[in-house]
Structure 1
Amino acid sequence: MRRYYKSYDLSSGVIDSVYLGESSYRSYSYTFSGGAGVLGIPFQSGESILVHPSGGFWRANSASYRIARTNEAGDTLLVIEAGLEEQPVTAEDRSAYVEGIAEGAPQMRRYAEEVATLMPDVKPILGGLFMDEEGRLWVRRVTPADAPAFYDLFSDDGDYLGSVRLGFEAAGPLRVRHGHIYTWIADELDVPYVVRAPLP
């Protein structure tokens, strides 16, 4: 697919767009008696694009720890990189995927085995980007399913400011306002609660 961001000027009504290149995403569809659906290929990487308030974008592919700030023309202005160790997709990962599908739909085992062969060799490293009200870039690392979320913080100039590990499992996106993190969690009965946590 081709990716564009469209802008709309509230005062003049002018509409403009920025072309951000092509991207691809693999998925598969399945049908059987009584059901059908579409699923993505596990562990495939993708691109995160974050609009910068003063113009341009922060861009990163989840397969590596490399975040670039670009202008609207696509020129690279700044790059943040870290040499994190790659995490391979193991035979156990592939087997667990197959068994998870087959447990709920035994007739899907053969197809799940085929899909498992399409998984990439390594897992994504980055889980997403967002900016807070002070212009800091928050970069979420991919963590194990039973581990709390982990974020690296950078200034607008790309300087490392520290890291934040949440002490709880957030059920939604984070917002940072006035020195606090806001999000929501769900208890064992799936009742949602808003959480406010102070930044260290």
Structure 2
Amino acid sequence: MTTTVDSVGLVIRVTNTGTPPEWQLTPVVSIGPKSLTDAASPDEFGSVPSAALGPNGALFVGDNLNHEVRVFGLDGAHRRTFGRFGEGPGEFSGLYSVAWVGDRLLTLDFGVGRIGEFSAEGAWLGQREVPGGLTGSPAQLRFFPVGVDEAFAAGLRTGPAGLESVFVGHDSRGVTGDTLTYVRSPASAGSTIICRYDGGMSLFDVPFRARLVQHPGPGGVMYVALSDAYRIAVIRGDADTLRVIERALPAEPVSDEEWAAANQAFEAFRADYPNASCDPRRPGRPDGKPFIAALFVAPDGRLWVEVVRTAGNRWELFDAEGQLLASLPVRPQREHAAPAFGPEHMVTIRRDSLDLDHVDVWRIDPGGR
């Protein structure tokens, strides 16, 4: 593996080629029920959108259905539970995300319209206002931890064109003053097929189409990539590019079987509604698969990139300067539930065949030790 660094003007370009070291995600503990029981136990979750690693081996699990935060050790032992349904101090009505920031746990509750602050023991420390009544995917309406005492929260603000989605910076003391807007791209045009029929309308995503992937970073920067190229830009403001991280990786074609499977819902709709008017008429097949499925900036400053591969998606791990450190296998995880990262551990959430949620803790093992 080779990493080269050069610059064009004031932009630093980091290019990574070759095969990185193979690291492993070694199972530590899986917390979740083997079956449904009449007597609910702490590891029988209702719905888990988010989990966070805290001090002293604490794992905080937000349960949006039961309106609770359950705390476990890395041995899987239940330590405590706090919270209940309501709008008073320490209560929840729409718990979307949890994050350990500095010396406290922050909880993002769009039902009440606040960020709650708790001690590690679950004591109520205060609150911060956020927009109330928001609904959507926990993959977007969540905290984005980017430092040991820095996280961004999804939010809204009024801009020149009306309401716009933003990332609002927080630390253990309050709002940091960093507010980042989503980067927009013309690549999003044509990524959705709109079909109108009999007074109704249906939407279909175009499979394998390039999309913009982004994540806030420490100090008010944004990591942004167009998924059809393995090129990640670190930007500040609207157009100030600070660094570009590139990875030489061969493109992979979309097979006929994969294309047919990905378009099953659209083709079934066309068969049921042959007179529907669709724009575009049919999905355009791309030349190859996208490279990047997701980006995450961990609190220790490392960049995690989920890379799309036919043989199975991989994590590729970069240091804060953009040097490729390792490749790791992606473990099963629930759609729309973001992983949590620590210096030595990763936490993923998955849903089993019985629709039961499990929280899995993995040790990050360099060299597969």
TM-score tier after normalising by the smaller chain length: 0.7 to 0.9
Contact kept, 8 Å, 1:4 with 1:20, in 2: the verdict is no
Matching residue within 140, 143, 161 for 2:306: 140
Q: Percent identity?
A: 25
**By how many angstroms is 1:88 displaced?**
2.4
CA contact (8 A) 1:102 1:108 kept: no
Query: Cα–Cα, structure 1 residues 105 and 199, in superposed 2: closer, same or farther, change >3 Å?
Result: same
Shift in alpha-carbon separation, 1:5–1:64, aligned structure 2, 3 A: same
2:342 aligned partner, one-letter code:
R
SS in 2 for 1:157: coil
Residues of 1 paired with 2:326 and 2:175: CA distance?
Answer: 41
Please tell me whether residue 169 in structure 1 is matched to residue 332 in structure 2.
yes
If asked which structure has higher relative contact order (CA below 8 Å, sep 6+), I would say: 2
Higher fraction of strand: 2
Question: What RMSD in Å do the two structures reach over aligned CA positions?
Answer: 3.4
TM superposition shift of 1:97: 4.1
Task: Specify the alignment match of 1:157 in structure 2.
Answer: 321
| DSSP-derived class of the 1:39 partner | strand
The aligned amino acid for 1:123 is K
In structure 2, the residue matched to 1:123 is 289
Bigger-Rg structure (1/2): 2
Q: Which amino acid counterpart does residue 162 of structure 1 have in structure 2?
A: A
Alignment length, in residue pairs?
195
Cα offset, 1:160, TM superposition: 1.4
For residues 155 and 12 of structure 1, do their structure 2 counterparts lie closer, same or farther at Cα, with a shift above 3 Å needed? closer
Q: Which runs of 5+ in 2 are unaligned?
A: 1-160
Q: TM-score, normalised by structure 1?
A: 0.78
Q: 1:110 to 1:177 in 2, by over 3 A?
A: farther
Matches within 5 A, 1:29-48: 29-32=194-197, 36-48=201-213
Q: 2:254 aligns with which of 78, 89, 110?
A: 89
1:127·1:141 contact (CA, 8 Å) conserved in 2?
yes
Q: For each residue in 1:15-71, what CA deviation from the matched residue of structure 2 results, as whole angstroms up to 9, or x when unmatched?
A: 966584543332122245696421121111111122111122111110011111122
In 2, the alpha carbon distance for the partners of 1:109 and 1:86 equals 35
The answer to whether residue 352 in structure 2 is matched with residue 187 in structure 1 is yes
Residue 364 of structure 2 is aligned to residue 196 of structure 1: no
Aligned-partner Cα distance in 1 for 2:210–2:246: 17
Note the residue ranges of structure 1 that are not aligned, 5 or more in a row: none
Moved more, 76-85 or 34-43: 34-43
> What secondary structure sits across from 2:272 in the alignment?
helix
